[in-house]
Amino acid sequence: MREQLQLTPVRRLSATSELARNAQGQEFLCIDNEHASAVIALFGGHVLHFQPTGKAPLIWLSQRAVLDGSKPIRGGIPICWPWFGPAPERVGTDKPAHGFARTRPWSLTGVSEGQSGTLVHLSLYSDDSTRAQWEHDFELDLDVLVGESLSLVLTTRNTGQQPLTYNAALHTYLAVESLEGLQVDGLGPRYIDKLDGSQEKQQLGPLPVDRAMDRIYLHADTCIRVRESEREIQVINGNHDSVVVWNPWAEGAKGMADMDDDGYKTMLCVEAAITGSAGVTVAPDDEHCLSCVISA
C-alpha cells in the first residue's frame, strides 16, 4: 500500500507507527504491528488501508483515488458528518454531499501502543470555516484501534451553548475477492431503496450483490456478515440507526472519474449510519458515539 501511495517517511511516532507524506504534501499515518498494517490519511481522518497479518486486505481503496486534498477520497472509510447524503433542510442548500468532515485536515492528537494493537486518536474542531457550513461548535474525535480487528469510534462532542443535531456514516468500502457468490447476512427485512424513489421495500434472507444498489436497511442486526467463498467479513456496528449497502455497478463506476471501470467488482460499502431525518441530538457538554468493528 505504501508503494501505491508513494509515501516518504517523515518521522517515527511510536514503536509501530510512522508519519509519512506523499508527493502532494498530504500526511499519512502508517501502522505496522504484530496484528495488522494500516494507513490513515489526516485529510478526512480517513482510514485507507487495513490488512490483518497474513490475510487479505479488508478495506478497498480505488486505484484512481485522488490523494491531494482537493476532493473526497474514493475508498477507505470516509467519515460522512455532520450529515449523510445531501444536506438536510435544517442545514440548508449548497452544502457538500456527506458533510465536510471528509474534506478537512484532522489533527493527530495521540498514538499509543497496547497489547491489543495501536490506538490512534484524531480530532477535528469547529472553526470559522466549519461554522460557515454548519453553525455549531463541536469537537469530533476518531479513535482507531489497529489490532486483529479494525475498530473505529467516532465521538461527536457538543462544545457549544445550543443542542446540535447530526447524521453520519462510517462509509466503509470493504475489499472483496469477487461479488460472484457473495452474500450479505444480518441486514434485516426492511430497507429504503434509494435507486427506486426511496421506496420502502422488503427483503427476505441473505442479500446477493448482483446489480447496482444503494439501500438503507432500517432494522439490521448488530453484526453484518459478508460471506465469500473463502472468507467471512464481519462488521459490528454500534449506536447507528441503519446500515447502508452501496455498490455503483458498471454504469455507476463508469460515471466516476476516481474509480476504475472494473473497480465496483472488488468493493462493497457496508456502512454504520445515522440516516433518520431526526438525526441524533446532542446537548451542550454532552457527546454521542458511532462505531464499527471490522474483522475477517
Q: Do the beta carbons of residue 218 and residue 242 sit within 8 Å?
A: yes
User: What is the spatial order of strands in the sheet that 287-295 belongs to?
Assistant: 107-114, 117-125, 138-146, 150-158, 287-295, 232-238, 223-227, 183-185, 207-208
Q: Verify binding: residue 97, ligand TA6, rule CB under 6 A.
A: yes
The residue (of 20 and 77) whose beta carbon lies closer to ligand TA6 is: 77
Grid cell in block for residue 37: 498494517
Interface pattern 119-158 for ligand TA6 (x via CB under 6 A): ----------------------------------------
H or E segment and range at residue 27: strand 27-32
Nearer to ligand TA6, 72 or 186 (CB): 72
Told to judge if 219 belongs to the known catalytic residues of this protein, a careful annotator would answer no
b/e per residue, 66-78, with b = 16+ CB within 10 A?
A: ebebeebbbbbbb
Choice from 117, 246, 247, 263 touching ligand TA6 (CB under 6 A): 246
Segment 57 to 76, residues that bind ligand TA6, using CB under 6 A: 72
200 a catalytic residue:
no
Q: Which of 1, 57, 85, 160 binds ligand TA6 (CB under 6 A)?
A: 85
Q: Which residues inside 153-192 make contact with ligand TA6, applying CB under 6 A?
A: 171
Q: Give yes or no for residue 46 binding ligand TA6 (CB under 6 A).
A: no
Find where cell 448488530 sits.
222
The nearest distance, CB 290 to ligand TA6, in angstroms, is: 14
Nearer to ligand TA6, 27 or 214 (CB): 214
Helices (H) and strands (E) in the chain, counts: 3, 24
Grid cell 465521538 is found at 155
Measured distance CA(97)–CA(88) in Å, rounded: 10
Positions that interact with ligand TA6 (CB under 6 A): 72, 85, 97-98, 171, 194, 214, 244, 246, 269, 271
- Give catalytic residue positions: 171, 271
